[in-house]
Chains A and B, each alone.
Chain A
């Protein structure tokens, strides 16, 4: 852990009771979702983490409570340092604060998360679906949506599988 990341982690840990963990030289800070904007502000302005490289979600359905964790990845070009932030989001209150005011490129990442995981971002300027068509029901990257695998067709089950295939409406 470089001094720069250490200092940043210490500051966030003290101020927001963040848990600091390290895996394969990557530092992750986990804290409550209400602090996300303040944490990003401090990291961006005081520790030069000026770029939001990535934002994504991991769904721990039936494994962990709260169910979702949003993973932010900040990058500092000056120090070539990367830091990961994790904020848990519960299923029954699946919304969190948008970081678009601080990092404008979070716009599409958050739209994608809303689209595929169904987590709402408060303060997002344009929360429409990004990848899936408008009017699509559900959020397919959630773990409770099964991965569909088509069975191998043999002569004995050919018709059964054929019946289940989606068709264009007449």
Chain B
């Protein structure tokens, strides 16, 4: 049955409480930015009330990328859902897998071997660098620094090559599985990552040389889009956008998962809460990620990469030919799935954008009864009208870039 709805535009009547009185009389102008605008980083529509060039109010309109993924997840078994998690925040695919797997592991009480945990951390940090590179590339491009865009994509490609090496896929890896990992790392992995982190700090320096003291960049970012720490917390901002306002809050530090408590790293903090602070923080975070990856590689323990709890984790392929029990478990897990105990869990992880949480409720069956994704971009975008108020339309582009939103993450 086709879905019936009429596509109608927003009337002034509906939003009259959200814009100033001057918009009603026609003194200020209401204009539409997006959803097909190159600097809105996806399909974001903003309804702007402007007085000349100054933004009086800004109303985000989201949902153009809504796929109903939470509903679809209710109809799949726990293993099948995982494939969809990559598609939510398409710049943080490994992080989404990790959040989902940790939630399932918390729900069914699975233990993960230390080797798998370390590999998870290495991959999650590589993903963080890749995501920050996309952010830096697009932010710089929006502010007319074209060469940084090309350099960032060049380095990101190296990370995607590493993902392809381990999982066979550049972006939608689905490599992390509940209970461990999909398969053992290829032997080339360590060299590939070591050569990347050996080269990368110099590249970060190069981006900084191009931007940090560049007057064209600094003038357009310093003092723009300021939010105080208190306001940012109240509006539910998380991640680098929150830390830019000087609030020390990182899930990796306060409630560590996957063994993050064993790594030595700093959480960079900003001072002024403007676009420039958020830029500096993300640059610093890339450096910290390199440190974490270095430590992870140095201590990478041996041992299994998957839990051997056969009620939840499928046996290795090689066992199927010789073990009757393995065959039974394999068949059972891939046809019916496993039953999770009744209850609800919430598990937050630190995605490149902030707090990514998975709320998973089980009714005791093989499919999740309700999955809800608490996504970081959603909270950050909600605070954007406060950041944008009183700035020029040209600065709005810098502000959208600085909160690093991914529309797939918001609309789900």
Give the B-binding residues of A (Cβ under 8 A).
23-24, 26, 28, 50-54, 56, 58-59, 63, 71, 73, 77, 80, 82, 84, 103-105, 107-108, 125-126, 128-137, 140-141, 145, 147, 149, 164, 166-167
Contacts and interface: CB of A to CB of B under 8 A. Distances in A.
A131 B66 CA distance: 6
Contacts, number: 108
Given A54-B359, A104-B234, A166-B2, A24 B254 contact: no
Contacts of A73: 346, 359, 374
Interface string B232-269: 01111000000000010100001100000000000000
Given A51-B233, A137-B5, A26 B345 contact: yes
Interface string B96-135: 0000000000110100000000000000000000000000
Contacts of B369: 58
Contact of A56 (B249, B359, B363, B382): B359
B411 A54 contact: no
B357 A53 contact: yes
A125 B17 contact: yes
Nearest to B343: A23
Given A51-B233, A82-B346, A105 B379 contact: yes
Contact of A128 (B14, B355, B363): B14
Interface stretch (B23-31, B68-76, B177-185, B395-403): B68-76
Given A24-B345, A54-B372, A105 B234 contact: yes
B70 A134 contact: no
A77 B236 contact: no
B255 A104 contact: no
Interface in B74-91: 74-75
Interface string B49-69: 000000000000011001010
Given A105-B235, A108-B382, A125-B17, A54 B70 contact: no
A82 B106 CA distance: 16
A59 to B, nearest CB: 8
B8 A134 contact: yes
If over half of A's interface residues share one DSSP class (helix, strand or loop), that class is named, otherwise mixed; here it is loop
Contacts of A166: 2-3
B3 A136 contact: yes
Closest 8 CB pairs of A and B: A105-B236, A131-B63, A166-B2, A147-B75, A54-B374, A23-B343, A136-B5, A135-B6
Nearest to A108: B382
Instruction: Tell me which of B1, B6, B10, B370 has the highest count of chain A C-beta atoms within 10 A of its own C-beta.
Output: B370
B8 A135 contact: yes
B357 A50 contact: no
Contacts of B74: 147
Instruction: Tell me which of B71, B235, B343 has the highest count of chain A C-beta atoms within 10 A of its own C-beta.
Output: B71
B5 A135 contact: yes
B237 to A, nearest CB: 9
B355 A71 contact: no
29 contacts: A24-B106, A24-B109, A24-B343, A26-B345, A51-B233, A53-B236, A54-B357, A54-B374, A56-B359, A56-B370, A58-B361, A58-B369, A73-B346, A73-B374, A84-B344, A104-B234, A105-B234, A107-B382, A108-B378, A108-B382, A125-B17, A126-B17, A131-B411, A132-B66, A134-B8, A135-B6, A147-B75, A164-B1, A167-B2
A80 B5 contact: no
Given A56-B359, A141-B71, A134 B346 contact: no
Contacts of A84: 344, 346
B324 interface: no
B4 interface: yes
Contacts of B383: 105
Contacts of A129: 63
Given A50-B234, A51-B233, A140-B68, 17 more contacts: A26-B346, A52-B236, A53-B236, A54-B346, A56-B374, A58-B361, A63-B363, A71-B344, A82-B346, A84-B344, A103-B236, A105-B383, A130-B62, A131-B66, A134-B8, A135-B6, A164-B1
